[in-house]
Structure formats: structure tokens, C-alpha cells
Amino acid sequence: MLWASVEAHAELTPDQAKTAEACIAAFSSREFRERQQAVEKLVALGPDVVGMIKKTLAETQDNEVKLRCEMVLRGVREFYIVDEQDRPLNVGPSRITLRTRQTPLAEVIRQFAVLSGNAALPLKTTSVLKNPVTLDVKDLPYWQAVDELLKTAGLVHAYDWSTRSMVVNAGTPGDDIGAYPGPAMVKLNSVSRVLNCLGGRRIRRLSFGLLYAWEDRLPVIYGVLVVTRARTAKGKELKGSRAAAERPLWVLHNASANVYLPYDVTDDVSGSVSVEGFVRLEYGIGEERVELPLAVSAKPIAISGMTLSVAKVERTTRDLRVTVQGKLAKPFPSLKTLSSRYGLFLKDGAGRRHEAALGANPYVTGGFDTELIYPVTQAAGEGRLEFVCPRIVKTRDYPFELQTVPVP
């Protein structure tokens, strides 16, 4: 037997609705300042005013009111994360309320997916799907609820090196040290003490292995885990290695990663330490498209602060290899993201669309020169390249702290 509920979308409170109505009425004010302040107040109320604004826009014949409604919609899209229909995206954690009594694990996993909007948990041990599960969670963040389910079902999070992604497998959980920053999860995977010899010096280091993932219901195009500091139980800050200081970001190529961060330590570091940082998720909203001919002599094209040109085209019996050069006016996600929706695609002579087998590094500054490989034979015809990038990119940081990390 199973009982479930899902959190509803937020709406304006009665007081907020009155404020919104007063601001909309102020759109007809003779005073420019009052009209402008009304727009600013509505934008500050957030995405939940969109429905009221769209209704006003559809009903009014006043050009000034229409103008102000459009300004509010643009402001909400700029400052908040909304989808193409101006619906607010929940960039916090999904919350799960679920009671089961001797329910097959497969059905419980299905309900988690339904309630959260995420894909079903990636379970590697399918033999346990028929096992009965009794679970009672109320209004828990998604990943915390997942952990409760795993404990009940005798499962654990694991890192699959073949796919470089987080999976769920049968096993006995050990000390569970983790955090739930927003829609993400961070788990301690390992701690090791190593001794390096550099330039005749003996350097003792602690190395932390961290697993992390985020809810895949979100339109994430990039994700990074950044560790900002580690401290002993007495508050002494550990010194990060040179490599960690120079390269503080680890860029993912799918929705999880295993991150190793070394810290220089002395013999007196014992007991436990705490590790602090944040998970940075970058969201892509909407689409911009532009086509680029498959010719070295083709004129470069510009889109969203990026200029692209074809530097080399090589056809083989098995694939098509294209070297693309790019120049950027600002740091920008380049030709490949975590979303299959965006990237540099090939449209062959028959109109079929092909995704590149190899892409550029996700973050580049200044310019790049990268080879893209498409599994297309010579018989596919000339074709064209199509670059698809987000219309809007929004970034959110989710802080975390792992406490009482044991020191070996």
C-alpha cells in the first residue's frame, strides 16, 4: 500500500496579491516615477506575478499599461529562473512525502520519480526490484528522502567508473557523511593520507574524494563543485596544494563526479576535519539557433557573444571531422553542454540531425580550436552545421559543509 503527496507551486499571498493589483493600477498614473516604481515592485515579487501580468496584458487596450506589463515580464525573466512559458522553475530541492507499507521497491522508485520530476534512480542491482519496502518520509528534500529509501532497502550510492556517473547498488552503508545543498547532494567517498616527495621535500597530504550529483529534472547545462576550505576540529585551516589553488573548479561531463582535493597537513592533524564549499549549477533557458556552412571559406557567424568559423573539414568512410574555431567576447559555454538540447550539431544532406561525438571543453575564455567528430559517411551529402545555445543562462551557488570527516 502506498500514500504520496507532492508540494504545490508557490502562489501570491493575499497581501502580495493586493500589492500587485495596486501596482498594476499605478501603470495608468500620470507620474512617471509612480509607473516606474510599480514595475520595480512587481519584479521584486518574483515569478508568481506573471499570471496576473499576462492577464492584464491580454485584457488592456492602454498602450502604456501594455508597455509596463512587458517591462515586468522582461524583468522577471532577467532576475529569476523561469521556463519559456514564464513559469517559475523550482531551483531548490524537490520535497517528498511518501508512506509505503510492504510495497515493491520498483513501485517506490517509480513514485519518487513521479513526485520529484526526476528520472528513476539508476539501480544496478535489478534483482531487488521486487523486494517489499516500508517507508515513511514527510516533506523531506529529494536527496535526503532518497537516502532514507536506500537505508531501508539495503542499497548505497556508488560511483560507476565506466560511465563516470553516480549509481545505486546493493551494499552495506558505512558512515554516511554528506550534505544536501539545494537540489544537489555531496557525499564523502574516501579520505586518504599520502606522502609526496617534491623537490627533495616530503609533503604529507590529506586527499578527500567527494561524490556529488543534482536533480536531473533541472535544465542544468554545467555543474561544478568548489571546495573553499578545510579545517580541523580546533578551527585550524588546512593549506590547499598548489594545484588546488590554481584550479579550484572541477567541470563535470555528466550529472555526477568523483573529485579529489589534496591538502597539505602536518602530523598533528588527527581526529576529524570539516570541508566547506559550494555546488554551482548553471541553467539554460530557451534557444538561439544559427547555421554555419561546412566550408573553410564560409563567412564566420556570430551569436550570443561568440564568433564561429570552420577551419577544417575532413571526410572519411566512417565519419565527418570538423575543426571549428571560436572567438569569445566573454567567458561562455562553448560547443558542448550537459544538455543534449544544446551544442553544435550536423544537419546532413537528408535533413537528419547528428550530435558530435567529441566536443570542446565546457568553459573557455578568449578562443578555442576544437575538432568535432560526427558519425556520418560521405554518402550523407554536404549538410550544414547548426549551433544551438541557451537564450538565457542563470547561475546559482549552493553552499555545503561536511562535518566530522574522519582523518586516517
- Enumerate residues 6+ apart whose C-beta is below 8 A from 219: 83, 89, 283, 284, 285, 339, 341
| pLDDT value at 79 more than 60 | yes
pLDDT at 131: 92
**178-284+396-406 and 288-389: same fold?**
yes
**Mean of the pLDDT values across residues 47-53?**
89
* DSSP for 187-244, written as a single string: EEEEEEEEEEEETTEEEEEEEEEEEEEE-TTS-EEEEEEEEEEEEETTSPBPEEPHHH
pLDDT band at 243 (very low <50, low <70, confident <90, very high): very low
pTM of the model: 0.77
CATH fold for domain 95-170: Phage tail protein beta-alpha-beta fold (3.55.50)
Residue type, 27: F
| pLDDT value at 89 more than 60 | yes
Q: What percent of the chain has pLDDT over 90?
A: 23
Q: Where are the domains of the chain?
A: 14-79, 95-170, 178-284+396-406, 288-389
**Mean of the pLDDT values across residues 377-388?**
69
**Mean of the pLDDT values across residues 175-187?**
88
Mean pLDDT highest for which of 14-23, 216-225, 237-246? 14-23
CATH fold for domain 178-284+396-406: Immunoglobulin-like (2.60.40)
pLDDT band at 278 (very low <50, low <70, confident <90, very high): confident
Architecture of domain 288-389: Sandwich (2.60)
Q: Convert the pLDDT of each residue in 305-337 to its tens digit.
A: 778 888 888 887 778 888 887 776 544 444 556
